[in-house]
């Protein structure tokens, strides 16, 4: 401090440390400005970008989207928020477990590119849909230039001996001695939060011109085939007609084609199984639909051909395919009861010998058969059964015509079927298909039970509707936890079988609790 300096009042004295302190302050200021510039410019060297193969599609047409991380600096990043894909049905592609980055040029600069997420999106409604951003957090390591003091420069600058002795001529043209600072490199880790830009998708409605009456929402490119497990059976048997739809597109959203049976044949609810075999550039595989068929009356029957229609975006046209009709021969089974045989009228020549035995004692008079309980029971019970069956069939037809009520009534049954499929995937330790099936069972159950189209169903909408049905907040929290579990485990490291079993049990419990709440 100047007041303690004995030379403070000496006008001829110059503090030898003043210049050093000034240079130090200037150095610190330059370093701070350089660090601020490097942190600001980190977004030019590290960012997330969304790639889509098309921005204009039809309803149900596949969009392939990839979320990629571009880096020119060392970093350690992880996904902190997954995109919420409202209005889309999504199928995620399988990424390599130990994927290596690829090199890409962006504006003439080389970047190391990592694929964070790759999905096939199927829009479920027309209009303008937005792909929400994906977010990631982590640490990036930036390189800094640190300038350190050059003692040799100070020596030549401040020492009058060297200035007078060498007159400033010795080694003064050497940049090492001229420069007051050394340039050295240092590293600094800075926290980084990345967020991709939203992407706008224009979705067009499927054309009405040429749309077949039996169109069930299939969009893509498909083939069909059918087979029956037996063509000769009895009235005690059940035959299984299997329809296989194979191709690429929105396989899991295709409705089962209607099976129209002739009189005398009865059909039951089909069993549907989805098999996804391709997860590289397009979602491809098969949808296997099995129709159980039973026959009550012996005879020869023909099961008509099954019609299946789909929209092909590449051709911008509808295509209708048909299977071959199937002939079935039915024989009476052990439990078959033939109808009453017609009475045979006796011919005139049918005269028997006169019975010579004495007539039996005259029987007491009995009431006419028409007044007996047995007589009326024989006719009344079938009549009552017929009326009850007619009422039941009428109710079923009314429910079938009211799709909303039918889906509401069968929501639990369909959910349990999907959970059964998930259990098989659990036993086979197929992790990603297992969590996809669990997620699908839950979302489709909520869609059917709340009478909300799947394309309009979101967490916010589901929460509002469930509160309207007086579903407890604790149960809604369980639903959200299950949704989060299914979403996050698709991108997390491989889960143990024990964790998958826990998720399966949680799904069964949640759907059962929801069903009990709706009933009450």
3-state SS string for 69-135: EEECCCEEEEEEECCCCCCEEEEECCCCCCCCCEEEEECCEEEEEEEEEEEEEEECCCEEEEECCCE
Residue 343 is predicted with a pLDDT of: 35
Residue 460 is predicted with a pLDDT of: 84
Measured distance CA(170)–CA(158) in Å, rounded: 15
Measured distance CA(409)–CA(389) in Å, rounded: 20
Phi, psi of 91 (to 5 degrees): -130, 125
What does the pLDDT profile of the chain (520 residues) look like in tens digits?
Answer: 455 555 555 555 555 566 667 777 766 666 555 555 455 568 888 999 999 999 999 999 999 999 999 998 888 888 888 777 778 888 888 787 777 889 999 889 999 999 888 889 999 889 999 888 888 889 888 776 555 555 555 554 555 554 554 444 444 444 444 455 445 566 788 898 999 898 999 999 999 999 999 898 999 999 999 999 999 988 888 899 999 999 999 988 888 998 989 888 888 888 888 887 766 677 888 999 999 998 888 999 999 999 999 999 999 999 999 999 999 999 988 877 665 333 333 333 334 444 455 544 444 555 555 455 565 566 667 777 777 776 766 665 554 444 455 556 667 777 788 888 888 888 888 888 888 888 888 888 888 888 887 767 788 888 888 888 888 888 888 888 888 878 776 555 556 677 888 888 888 888 888 888 887 7
- Under 8 Å between Cβ of 500 and 432: no
Measured distance CA(183)–CA(196) in Å, rounded: 36
- Under 8 Å between Cβ of 239 and 228: yes
Residue 173 is predicted with a pLDDT of: 47
Measured distance CA(222)–CA(211) in Å, rounded: 16
Q: Is the pTM of this model over 0.85?
A: no
Residue 58 is predicted with a pLDDT of: 94
Residue 309 is predicted with a pLDDT of: 95
- Under 8 Å between Cβ of 124 and 86: no
- Under 8 Å between Cβ of 71 and 46: yes
Residue 28 is predicted with a pLDDT of: 66
Element (H, E) at 241: strand 238-249
Burial class (CB in 10 A: 0-12, 13-18, 19+), 445: buried
């Amino acid at each position: 401090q100047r007041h303690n300096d004995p030379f403070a009042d000496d006008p001829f004295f110059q503090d030898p440390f003043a210049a050093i302190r000034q240079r130090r302050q200037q150095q610190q200021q330059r370093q701070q400005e350089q660090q601020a510039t490097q942190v600001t410019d980190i977004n030019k060297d590290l960012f997330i970008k969304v790639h889509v193969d098309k921005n204009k599609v039809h309803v149900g047409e596949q969009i392939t989207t990839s979320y990629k991380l571009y880096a020119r600096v060392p970093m350690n990043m992880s996904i902190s928020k997954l995109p919420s894909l409202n209005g889309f049905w999504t199928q995620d592609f399988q990424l390599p477990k130990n994927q290596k980055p690829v090199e890409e040029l962006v504006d003439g600069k080389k970047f190391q590119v990592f694929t964070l997420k790759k999905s096939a999106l199927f829009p479920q409604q027309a209009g303008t849909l937005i792909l929400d951003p994906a977010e990631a957090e982590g640490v990036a390591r930036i390189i800094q230039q640190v300038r350190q003091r050059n003692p040799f420069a100070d020596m030549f600058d401040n020492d009058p001996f060297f200035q007078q002795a060498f007159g400033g001529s010795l080694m003064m043209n050497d940049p090492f001695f001229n420069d007051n600072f050394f340039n050295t490199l240092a590293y600094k880790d800075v926290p980084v939060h990345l967020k991709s830009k939203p992407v706008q998708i224009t979705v067009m409605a499927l054309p009405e011109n040429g749309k077949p009456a039996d169109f069930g929402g299939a969009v893509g490119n498909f083939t069909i085939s059918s087979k029956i497990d037996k063509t000769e059976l009895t009235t005690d048997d059940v035959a299984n007609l299997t329809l296989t739809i194979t191709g690429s597109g929105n396989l899991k959203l295709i409705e089962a084609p209607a099976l129209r049976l002739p009189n005398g044949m009865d059909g039951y609810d089909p069993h549907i199984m989805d098999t996804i075999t391709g997860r590289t550039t397009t979602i491809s595989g098969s949808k296997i639909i099995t129709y159980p068929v039973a026959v009550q009356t012996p005879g020869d029957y023909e099961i008509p051909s099954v019609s299946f229609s789909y929209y092909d975006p590449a051709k911008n046209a509808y295509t209708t395919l048909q299977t071959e009709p199937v002939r079935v021969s039915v024989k009476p089974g052990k439990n078959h009861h033939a109808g009453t045989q017609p009475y045979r009228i006796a011919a005139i020549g049918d005269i028997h010998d006169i019975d010579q035995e004495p007539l039996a004692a005259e029987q007491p008079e009995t009431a006419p058969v028409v007044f007996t309980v047995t007589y009326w029971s024989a006719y009344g019970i079938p009549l009552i059964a017929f009326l009850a069956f007619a009422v039941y069939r009428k109710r079923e037809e009314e429910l079938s015509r009211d799709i909303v009520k039918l889906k509401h009534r069968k929501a639990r049954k369909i959910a349990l079927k999907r959970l059964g499929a998930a259990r098989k995937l659990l036993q086979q330790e197929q992790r990603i298909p297992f969590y996809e099936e669990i997620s699908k069972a839950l979302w489709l159950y909520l869609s059917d039970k709340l009478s909300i189209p799947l394309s309009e169903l979101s967490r916010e909408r589901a929460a509002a509707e469930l509160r309207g049905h007086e579903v407890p907040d604790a149960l809604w929290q369980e639903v959200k936890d299950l949704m989060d579990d299914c979403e996050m485990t698709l991108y997390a490291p491989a889960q143990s079988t024990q964790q998958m079993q826990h998720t399966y049990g949680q799904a069964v419990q949640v759907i059962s609790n929801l069903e009990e709440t709706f009933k009450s």
